[in-house]
Amino acid sequence: MKGLQIERIGEAGDFHFSLRGVLDPEGARKLDRVLLKCQGKSAGRVRLDFDGVESISSLGLSVLKRWGKVYEETDRRIEVNGASADVLASLQSSGVHVYIGNAPGAAGPAKPSAAEKPSAAEKPSAVEKPAAHAKAAEEKPVESHPKAADEKPDAVAYAKDTEEKPVTTPAKEPPKASADAPVGPEMASLQTKLKRKIVEFRNLFEITQALNLAQDLDEVMNLFGLSVMGQFGLERLALFLCDPDKDGHLIPRHVRGFPQHHFQDFVIPWTAFRRFGPDKAFMTLQDIETKNSGSDELEALRETGFEWAVLLWVRRDLEGVLFVGGRGSGRKFNEDDRDLLTILSHQGAVAISNARVQRAQEERNLGLVRGMMALIESRDGYAKGSTERVVRYVSAVARLLDYPKEHLKSLVYGAVLRDIGMITVSGLILKNPAHLSEEEWELIKQHPVRGEQILEEMNFPKEVIAIVLNHHERWGGEGYPNGIRGQEIPLGARIVSLVDAYVAMTSERPYRRALPYEKARQVIAENWGSPFDPSVIEIFLSVLDKIERRSRLRAGQPLAGGAVPGAGIVGAGSPAGTDQAVGAIDPLASGGTIPPEGKSSDEDPGPTRSGPAVEANRT
């Protein structure tokens, strides 16, 4: 299935868009952003061409339902044109507040007669709400009720053009309807309720499936909040989670319907909910009467417009509290709504709990990686500060190569831990200013395998281990430890190999001076296809030129021919780290984002490893 593509039609002020593909959860978020921008620009009418929409998920229906209600209440509207029969049926069954401009070939209710058709002056009829279906059913009962008494029974056969008496064929007497059996309008109402239940359970299944697939905590909270608001037509929502660092008190983590920092520094004591147990989830804010701590905060929430709260329980522990309000037209939560919101909140609580555990594990890994990075650099003073440079270049190249987003953090970890196997190599060899002997060189060449063994024992992801093992392999097959070539080398290892070679060449070593930027760039460019991947070289050189240009402009140096031989890149002659605040440079904290340009210049000594020449492979 193809992801949703949204294209503007006509001028910007026309608010006319063409949608193609599948309106899945990711497409629903795209549509949500488009409708939000249109609302911010006071669009009186937003036209959406659904000709190319193949299907629509429950999250997509929730987005249209919520925004349709918002637009309708402000005397504006959303028009849907060209929807297929299946998509139109989904819109109708979900009670979405949109206008159907034209739906050629759409299957649905029977077309109205000429007397029933609206005049040209009337607006296009909106997709009926579920309640409207029940009303229509009362006016026109469905065909499933018993036939009228004056109709002729099917069991009687009449002779044609004769005066013979009708001959009756034996027929079984139809079963008598029970006195309590629903008929007519009552049956139609039950059918409407059943249809609504089916839609709700389908939406619940799709939302739960999307929550289970999401791993990032922010993504889970965003998906959960959007689903709840769309499913129940809410105007405001606030998700508070218990914070172990604040003695378990609840802090706001996700807010909708208010500015992003509306509840900043707002804390609710957990004691406000301690008299409730796991069997109590849905309640009104008036039910949470407390004379202890928390009463002022809850009163502030009531004054803000919140009316209901759902306690998020996971294994008898309070994970957080969901506050909602502004359902519109004074609508309350009936029993079915309360049950559905409670079930959805439980699924959201479990997904949030799992995502928090995942994030805690990642933070522990991050601390471990930082510690190992410090250990590696402490054994070689020339390597200090090289990791930030490597991560900076690797991250930029990976994004331009469309490196899989879910593996980006593993790529960064692999770049940081590429030389972890060096802790098994004697420091005397690492700092030896003379040429290495064959025995010493064989020890050096074993560090990728040693690094692989260390990380396997620590249960690091396989993507990280693959980068550490193969970052000295070469595109032409002349690398080590296994001598693989070309596409056999993982892409992450190919990126790290090239970046590491450049950083090594532009770093001071005990046996040579650092190469200037122009010379190192020339060496990389001349090794096109061997030992480096040509596609990676092309991207890296563009990244390198861009970063070098910015560094020279900041330093006030000429853009070409201004590098001092032997000085490395800008400022290489200055002491390592003079232009860096170690606390401000944290290339791992965000999972591989590029540190700010001003905090990570190319001045530091680089890593102690590979280059196209034998010397550049020394550490």
CATH code of the domain containing 101: 3.30.750.24
Residue 539 pLDDT: 92
In a domain, 302, yes or no: yes
Of 60, 89, 108, the position where a domain reaches its end is 108
Quote the domain boundaries for residue 469: 381-617
The count of other CB atoms within 10 Å of the CB of residue 278 is 12
Residue 375 pLDDT: 78
Residue 176 pLDDT: 54
Task: Output the domain CATH number for residue 451.
Answer: 1.10.3210.10
State phi, psi for 121 to the nearest 5 degrees. Answer: -75, -20
Rounded to the nearest 10°, the torsion over CA 391, 392, 397, 399 is 90
Number of structural domains found in the chain: 3
Residue 615 pLDDT: 36
Residues 458, 590: one domain? yes
Residue 365 pLDDT: 80
Residues 477, 573: one domain? yes
Residue 72 pLDDT: 81
Sign of CA dihedral 444, 449, 454, 458: positive
Residue 562 pLDDT: 40
Q: How far apart are CA 233 and CA 464, in angstroms?
A: 44
321, with CB counted inside 10 A (0-12, 13-18, 19+), is: buried
Residues 462, 318: one domain? no
pLDDT digits (tens, 9 = 90+) for 492-545: 999 999 999 898 888 877 767 888 888 888 888 887 777 899 999 999 999 988
Residue 489 pLDDT: 95
* Residue 617 in tokens: 């492979």
Residues 346, 389: one domain? no
Q: Which amino acid is at 99?
A: Y
Residues of the chain with pLDDT > 70: what percent?
A: 71
Number of H helices, E strands in the chain: 17, 12
Q: Which amino acid is at 611?
A: G
Of 358, 391, 409, the position where a domain reaches its end is 358
Q: Which residue has the tokens 């122009």?
A: 518
In a domain, 78, yes or no: yes
Residue 547 pLDDT: 81
In a domain, 121, yes or no: no
Residues 349, 392: one domain? no
Q: How far apart are CA 114 and CA 100, in angstroms?
A: 19
Q: Which residues of 501-521 are buried (b: 16+ CB within 10 A; e: fewer)?
A: bbbbbbbbbeeeebbbbeebb
The count of other CB atoms within 10 Å of the CB of residue 615 is 14
**Of 65, 54, 48, which is closest to residue 101 (Cα–Cα)?**
48
Give 186's Cβ-side CA count (13 Å radius): 4
The answer to whether 492 and 463 have CB atoms below 8 angstroms apart is yes
pLDDT digits (tens, 9 = 90+) for 209-258: 888 888 789 999 999 999 998 888 898 999 999 998 888 899 999 999 88
Residue 490 pLDDT: 95
For the whole prediction, is pTM greater than 0.85? no
Mark the ranges of the chain whose per-residue pLDDT is less than 70.
1, 101-184, 260, 289-294, 380-385, 428, 431-434, 511, 552, 555-619
**Of 30, 128, 116, 120, which is closest to residue 88 (Cα–Cα)?**
128
In a domain, 298, yes or no: yes
Residues 549, 460: one domain? yes
Question: What's the gap between Cα 392 and its chain centre?
Answer: 23
The SS3 assignment for 319 reads strand
Residues 349, 386: one domain? no
CA angle 163, 166, 169 (to 5 degrees): 150
* Residue 119 in tokens: 């005049």
Rounded to the nearest 10°, the torsion over CA 81, 87, 90, 91 is -10
In a domain, 18, yes or no: yes
In a domain, 163, yes or no: no
The total number of residues shown for the chain amounts to: 619
Instruction: Give the DSSP H or E segment for 152.
Output: none
The answer to whether 441 and 450 have CB atoms below 8 angstroms apart is no
**Of 324, 349, 363, 345, which is closest to residue 245 (Cα–Cα)?**
363
* Residue 265 in tokens: 């520094």
